[in-house]
Structure 1
Amino acid sequence: MADRVPVSQPPIFNSNAYSPAEIKEAIETVGVKKTKLPLQASFMLAMVAGGSVGLGALYYTIVASDAGLSFATIRVVGGLVFSLGLALVLVGGAELFTGNNLIVMAWASGKVSTREVLRNWVIVYFGNLVGSLGLVVLVFFSHHLDMNGGRIGLSILNTAVGKIQPDVVTLFFKGILCNLLVCLAVWLAYAGRSVTDKIVALILPISAFIAAGFEHCVANMYFLPLAWLLTQTGHVPADFDASPITISGIVHNLVPVTLGNIVGGAGLVGAVYWAIYRAAFGAAYPGEK
């Protein structure tokens, strides 16, 4: 009888990044799990994500309130610290609407139904909103906005006006570009095997969308209501034109930005990667080990 050839086993500890094909399979598997979560768990995890992104926005505002920094410094450093939000979501575990746009990959493979995808998106979207609003209340009553001689609050007002003033078409395309980068950050983070890997992977795409001034619907659920609360409580400088900061102004931003986020995340990342690693190559995924 011929000697048996020993079969090599993969190492127990592997520091190599997961391949793109493995990332695709992981995202689909997680997408199925997300759609099966009970309503209460899904909503509460969405609240956590809304607050987490809000904390990233809070961190960004501290940098943006420093008038001594150059434009590029504010945008780049502000973007780096804003990455806190997605790090809390991905590492800590939470349900973020923009990242959940990637559930479209599981849908395209027939693993979840259209109803399940829409159910998840609706629950998570409103959970993100409630979590963001909860943080808005906490931040307002903490008097955090009074820091730096009130410039933190002024930075919130300026940010809100800048987000409301563009027309809906501009906001829509800013939303597309934003979630293109956010979902690419999620994709890269799935390649990591450690907490450090995941955080390092997401920093550049997240900081890029902030630096470029693109629009993220969940971040805007923090910026815009907080600015509106400031206008309603009289915390506005006498020479500041806060007229755009209204409920209708907030809706004017959130509707096209949300739609753009869906196109950017589900369409330009989820659908494209699904087509590459599923439709185009079948079971023989490029890069698979």
Structure 2
Amino acid sequence: MVRRFAWALGALILTIALAGCQSTANGVALQVTPDNPQIFRVGGDVYTSADFSSRLQLEIGAGVENLLAQGQTREEIQQLVEQQNIRGGIFDRMVQDALLLQYARSHGIGVDPAAVDSAVLAQGGPADGGAALRLGQAQSQLALEVLARNTRADMFHARVIQLASEADADAVLADLQAGNDFTDLATARSQDPVSAAKGGDLGWLPKGDSPAELDSAGFSLALNTPAKLQVGSVWQVVEVLERQAGPTAAEKRPFDSFAQLQSSQGGQQFYQETFLPWYDQLRQDAETSGDLVIAQGFDPNSVPIPFPEQ
């Protein structure tokens, strides 16, 4: 079983090998026939062989054309697609996306229309977005948000005042002990303009995303107790406000958004350790309850590769 996680062109490509291709709901199985081209169902949403053909075109249509333009034959491309089980991987992603979209609906997770507009324009879509393209982008963003919110990591929430010398750090600590407000001191005296504008607040930081000294302090300092810390050539007064960490996924903190997960240095590891097990359980529960039904006898490799018409 191969599972791959990659950040490419700002999008997450997931390949999850799902075991089994048959399931029933309420004792009734889907069956692929010329008169009934349904290939799987999630809840009340039914997906057909035409939907799968469209997904193939979307994901590999341009790539197939490029390979042909480079001189590869149709037979060579066919062999490549079969060796890498590309159609099986795309079908698995269709099932995954459908399950994540259902999860988003049931948990009130929405999308930002402005972000959808931006994504459509970035792909060279029409100014009005185009209904199909906008729908695809909205569904993709929903799936990524669900992915982020079910990927977890050890995190700490801290605020910091960055200073030029140890003497300056001692002076700030003295002012804090005298009752001065941390936010006011950070705004007025921190040499880091980004955190200073937020009163020193760094937000929630996943493990491994900060300089080693700060990262270690984030998981070891007493909470709500300012301390001085040397980070490289600068000094900081750091206060750890909260932390969520532990050996189990439940003890870790979920990411707030896909953007936060995407920017995390340990994003791939966190995804593998926490999201994949969560998704496996989601799919297993859906199959057991009959919420996910995959048509008996459907073989993704039976669907033609989207070669351009000759």
Larger Rg: 2
Quick check: TM above 0.5? no
TM-score range, shorter-chain basis? under 0.3
> By percentage of residues, which structure has more strand?
2
TM-score (norm 2): 0.21
TM-score (norm 1): 0.22
> By percentage of residues, which structure has more helix?
1
